[in-house]
């Protein structure tokens, strides 16, 4: 897992050292907040919406509301959150997203598999980014040609503004982010206003979302969801190759699902979750006060349960903690899994691969590779 350590350090050199140094399950860190690294306690915080909220000082609302507006699941709690979640629910049913992913990605992943089997060296990061472009184009009504490397770089630059030591964006950063988001949502606004079920924004209107709610969802898909996916699949491939599991999965498809779950556990593409204390409570032995910031170190909690091993599949005991828990369990998880399965199957069709070269991304919110070139052995 040497390269996984490098990927984490490259993204968050200071924060990662702090996570590694934390020896207690709950620790108050001056200037940052209350750090939680124990999986059971972490899940307890996620489930306790009476005392811990996504809204408030230091929580995710301070980051995303100025850019995406108040009406998105990333920054909501309570009745309003549940109402919006119910409206969006049909868009993320497994049957709907499986069909959407297949329609968007079948040709791209087939081409990827063919080129790998023919012995071509391919950059997994670039391939996954292309697949993400196709998927996002379908989801938000944006022409695929708009979703080029330059736009991805600008989106990554925005999420790269996020630092644990800075709970909110500066006015200049907000202005930059809104400009990029405006480009992305221009076509989505048109699709929403035209209505109908041929586009996802149009379907959002049919499901009862307001235009603000729909555009907030579109922004969240692009700003956070896309980068998470582009981060995870190359990291999974690297873990499979480095650990020697890649040819075993290629030979035994029954191991693929456990390997994907184990990969999500040990990489945890979203390494921390943020909450604000909205009522005096305790996290394990540590009392917390209203207004304090809670940093849920999902990466540390998941990693503490052991190394990557699809045969033991420790991940199966965790109820997908990397996607959250309770009312805030990631609504987009079925969509992410549909895309992960399609791309992973195409990569595994090569039988076995070696890593030709790789570089870790620096200064990004979500730890990732900037390149990961593989070739059939």
Which tokens belong to 356? 């030709």
- Please report the beta strands in 203-352, taking only residues with DSSP state E, as ranges in sequence order: 273-277, 281-283, 286-288, 293-296
113 pLDDT higher than 90 = yes
Q: Which long-range contacts (CB under 8 A, 24 or more apart) does 327-334 make?
A: 327/49, 327/81, 327/82, 327/85, 328/46, 328/49, 328/54, 328/73, 328/81, 331/73, 331/85, 331/88, 331/89, 331/92, 332/92, 332/221, 332/225, 333/92, 334/92, 334/93, 334/94, 334/97, 334/98
Two tokens at 214?
Answer: 């729909």
Q: What's the rounded mean pLDDT across residues 125-140?
A: 84
Could you give the count of Cα atoms lying within 13 Å of 218 in the half-sphere of its Cβ? 34
pLDDT tens profile 282-325: 999 999 999 999 999 998 899 888 899 999 999 998 889 989 89
Identify whether the C-beta of residue 263 lies closer than 8 Å to the C-beta of residue 232. Answer: yes
What is the side-by-side strand order in the sheet with 122-123? 122-123, 369-376, 353-360
Mean of pLDDT values over 32-59: 92
Task: Answer yes or no: is pLDDT of 137 > 80.
Answer: no
Read off the pLDDT of each residue in 142-168 and give the average, rounded to a whole number. Answer: 74
Provide the whole-model pTM.
0.90
What residue numbers bound the domain in which 150 lies?
2-376
pLDDT average, residue stretch 209-238: 85
Q: Are strands 281-283 and 286-288 parallel, antiparallel or unpaired?
A: antiparallel
> Which CATH number is 261's domain given?
1.10.630.10
Of 136, 304, 161, 138, which Cα lies nearest the Cα of 222?
A: 136
Number of domain units in the chain: 1
Share of the chain above pLDDT 90, in %: 46
User: How far, in Å, are 6, 271, 304, 348 from residue 129 at the CA level?
Assistant: 21, 20, 30, 18
């Amino acid at each position: 897992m040497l390269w996984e350590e490098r990927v984490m350090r490259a993204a968050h050199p200071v924060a990662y050292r702090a996570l590694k140094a934390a020896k207690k399950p709950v620790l108050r860190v001056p200037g940052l907040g209350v750090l939680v690294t124990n999986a059971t306690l972490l899940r307890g915080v996620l489930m306790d919406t009476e005392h811990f909220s996504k809204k408030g000082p230091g929580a995710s609302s301070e980051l995303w509301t100025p850019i995406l507006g108040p009406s998105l699941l990333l920054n909501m709690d309570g009745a309003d959150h549940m109402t919006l979640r119910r409206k969006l629910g049909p868009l993320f049913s497994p049957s709907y997203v499986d069909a959407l992913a297949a329609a968007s990605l079948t040709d791209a992943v087939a081409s990827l598999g063919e080129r790998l089997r023919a012995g071509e060296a391919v950059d997994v990061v670039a391939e996954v980014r292309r697949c993400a472009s196709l998927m996002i184009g379908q989801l938000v009504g944006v022409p695929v040609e708009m979703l080029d490397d330059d736009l991805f770089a600008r989106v990554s630059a925005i999420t790269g503004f996020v630092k644990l030591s800075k709970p909110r964006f500066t006015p200049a950063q907000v202005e930059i982010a809104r400009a990029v988001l405006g480009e992305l949502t221009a076509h989505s606004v048109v699709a929403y206003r035209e209505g109908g079920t041929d586009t996802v924004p149009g379907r959002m209107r049919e499901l009862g979302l307001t235009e603000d709610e729909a555009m907030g969802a579109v922004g969240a898909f692009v700003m956070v969801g896309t980068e998470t996916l582009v981060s995870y699949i190359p990291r999974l491939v690297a873990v499979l190759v480095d650990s020697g599991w890649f040819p075993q999965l290629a030979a035994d498809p029954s191991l693929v699902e456990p390997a994907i779950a184990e990969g999500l556990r040990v990489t945890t593409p979203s390494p921390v979750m943020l909450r604000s204390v909205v009522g005096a409570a305790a996290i394990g032995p540590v009392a917390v006060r209203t207004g304090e910031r809670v940093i849920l170190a999902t990466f540390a909690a998941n990693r503490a349960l052991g190394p990557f091993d699809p045969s033991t599949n420790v991940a199966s005991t965790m109820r997908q903690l990397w996607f959250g828990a309770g009312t805030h369990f990631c609504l987009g998880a079925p969509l992410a899994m549909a895309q992960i399965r399609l791309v992973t199957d195409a990569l595994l069709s090569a039988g076995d691969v070696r890593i030709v070269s790789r570089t870790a991304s620096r200064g990004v919110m979500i730890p990732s590779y900037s390149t990961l070139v593989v070739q059939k052995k």
